[in-house]
Every structure is written in structure tokens, then in C-alpha cells.
Amino acid sequence: MYARPAAATAAAVLGATALLLPGSASGTQESPGKAGEPLVIAHRGASAYAPENTFAAIDLADDMGFAWVENDVQRTKDGELVVVHDDSLARTTDVEQRFPGRAPWKIKDFTAAEIATLDAGSWFGAQWAGARVPTLKQYLNRVENNSQKLLLEIKKPETYPGIEKDTLRVLRETGWLDRHHVTHKLVIQSFSADSVRAVHEQRPDITTGFLGMPAVADLPWYAGFTDQINPTHTSVTADYVAAVHALKGAHGKRLQVSTWTVNDAAAAMRVDGFGVDGIITNNPDVVRDAVD
Ligand code: G3P
Ligand code: CA
């Protein structure tokens, strides 16, 4: 659990963080290992301080100096890809008030036009009222305008047959599948090995990640189609990281580990000690300070 600061406190956090930024011109951490530190990835944006998976959360991560953001992609009733974590809209929007007769308010049962009318900010705090559920297209354009980079999670792909193809289409239409983006700005991950494999088969040039912690004996199979093994921080160990690092991933480079969701300094220092390549966190400022 994390404490959610009020707007004024969040502003104070940002001010303090700005003073602690390393001396790069942009103030952002671009890639892992530049200072021997893991890459810090803002989970659903800076979601400890702004409503998850909204423009506000990625803009705040940008303001805090974080280049990489993570999101969750699902599909509406009429085929639009949207950025939401839960398969229901109930927790993070006002859908229950707006559409009281439509429990359990699954994304797959709502049209994009209906979802576009929802308030995705008030649940987090009054100052965020009016935040919207972004379509993937809108979200990609925002990340691009912020010069940020994206760890895109295909969420619950078993619910949305063909979502990998849909996701790649939107990425292509928004310019995210050109060589520059694919090489430097995009990773696609999923808890579903089938989904990761489908992405790899359709676009072998894209860097991919598998969310989970497969048995060490199975890692060579995963390395055939993925570049990252991304386990929860409560399970990962130094030995496991070493076992992953002993292999080459789908693009012939060392198989990497990004762990989640690390929201306190002690856990960040612990996994940093294991040698992880990335830390996915709701509190990127806390993690950055811990691993600096
Ligand atoms: O990126 C890792 C993390 O997002 C996976 O879990 O449930 O937060 O999507 P979840
Ligand atoms: Ca996620």
C-alpha cells in the first residue's frame, strides 16, 4: 500500500525529485545500465500520485523525469483498444453511477463512445475529476508528445481473441512500429505466453516480455520468443535473475528481468541487489532515490 499525496504534497514531491535528478540534459532515465542502475518504469504512469492509466499519470511521470511508462490494453465491445487495468470499469471510473443497470461493467460490454464519457479521475481524488479513459491511439500520441517510451501490456488476451493483431495495427497507424520506435521506445509484455509468442511471430523485431516466473528449466523455451522475464518482486531471487541472465533472448541479447510492483525503498534496494534490469513501480521517485 502507498499513501496518496494530496495535490500540494504531490507538487512538493515533484519539486524535491527535480533537485535529485541526475545530470542528463533531459533529466530522464533512457535505458538500463547506464549508471549500473536498473531502469525505473512508471507502472500505469506515476500511479501513486495520479489516476492510473490516464494522461495525468503519464504526464506526471514525465514531469518527474521518467521516460518509461507501463500501461494495460483491453478491447471494447465495438473493437476499440483502450487503456485500463481491470476488466471491469467499476473501480477506476464512475460507470456504476452512469450505467447502473449494466453490472459487472466489463470493458468488453461497453462501446468506446460510452467509455469516452466516463470520469476516470474522481475515484482517485477530486482534483483529477474529468480525466478520461484513453484509447490506445490517444495514449500512444500522448506518450509520443512527451517523448516517453512504452512498456505495453496486453491484458487478459484470452478475453479478446486477436488483440495482438489489433494492438500491432494501432501501433503501426500511430507510427510506433518504425525502426526508431521498435529499437528504442517499445516493449510489449503479457502474462500470456501465447500472446507474447503471437506478437513475436507477427512482428519478430519487437522487444517482448513475459510476465511471470517460469521454472528455470523452461526458460530456454521462453527465450525463443521473448527478451524479458518479468516476475513479481515477492518471488524473484538473485539465483533466478542469474539463471535468466545466463540465457540469450529472442534477439540474441542477454535475457533481461524487470520486476514489479516495487513501491518502497527497501524492496527496491533488495531487487537492485539481485541485479534486475528494470523495476516497475507506482512510486518511481521512491525507487529512483533508493537505487541511486
Ligand atoms: O508490468 C507489470 C504489472 O503491470 C503486472 O501486473 O496486474 O499490475 O498489470 P498488473
Ligand atoms: Ca500492467
Q: Which residues contact 193 (CB under 8 A, 6 or more apart)?
A: 210, 222, 225
pLDDT of the residue at 35: 59
Tell if the pTM clears 0.85, that is, is over it. yes
Q: Determine the atom of ligand 1 nearest the C-alpha atom of 260.
A: 2
In this structure, what C-alpha cell is assigned to residue 265? 525503498
Ligand 1 binding pocket mutation candidate from 261, 280, 282, 287 (most atoms within 8 A of CB): 261
Ligand 1 binding pocket mutation candidate from 44, 70, 258 (most atoms within 8 A of CB): 70
List ligand 1's pocket residues with C-beta within 6 A.
43, 70, 72, 85, 153, 211, 260-261, 280
Q: Cα of 209 to ligand 1 centre, how many Å?
A: 12
For a pLDDT cut of 70, what percent of the chain falls above it? Answer: 88
In this structure, what C-alpha cell is assigned to residue 93? 471510473
Q: Cα of 29 to ligand 1 centre, how many Å?
A: 21
- For residue 13, the number of C-alpha atoms closer than 13 Å in the C-beta half-sphere is 23
Closest C-alpha to 63, from 18, 99, 100, 96: 18
pLDDT per residue as tens digits for the range 180-221:
999 999 999 999 999 999 999 999 999 999 999 999 999 999
pLDDT per residue as tens digits for the range 223-249:
999 999 999 999 999 999 999 999 999
Residue numbers of the chain with a pLDDT score lower than 50: 1-28, 31-34
Is residue 200 part of the annotated active site? The answer reads no
Cα separation, 231 vs 246, in Å, equals: 16
Identify the helix (H) or strand (E) that includes residue 120: none
Q: State the pairing for strand pair 68-75/81-83.
A: antiparallel
Q: Determine the atom of ligand 1 nearest the C-alpha atom of 85.
A: 9
Kindly identify the ligand whose nearest atom is closest to the C-alpha of 209: 1
pLDDT of the residue at 152: 99
In this structure, what C-alpha cell is assigned to residue 49? 500520485
Ligand 1 binding pocket mutation candidate from 52, 71, 72, 73 (most atoms within 8 A of CB): 72
Cα separation, 52 vs 87, in Å, equals: 14
Is residue 43 part of the annotated active site? The answer reads yes
Kindly identify the ligand whose nearest atom is closest to the C-alpha of 68: 1
Mapping DSSP onto H, E and C, the string for 237-280 reads CHHHHHHHHCCECCCCCECECEEECCCCHHHHHHHHHHCCCEEE
Q: Cα of 159 to ligand 2 centre, how many Å?
A: 16
| Residue whose CA lies nearest to ligand 1 atom number 4 | 43
DSSP 173-233: HTTTTSHHHHHHTEEEEES-HHHHHHHHHH-TTSEEEEES---GGGHHHHTTT-SEEE-BT
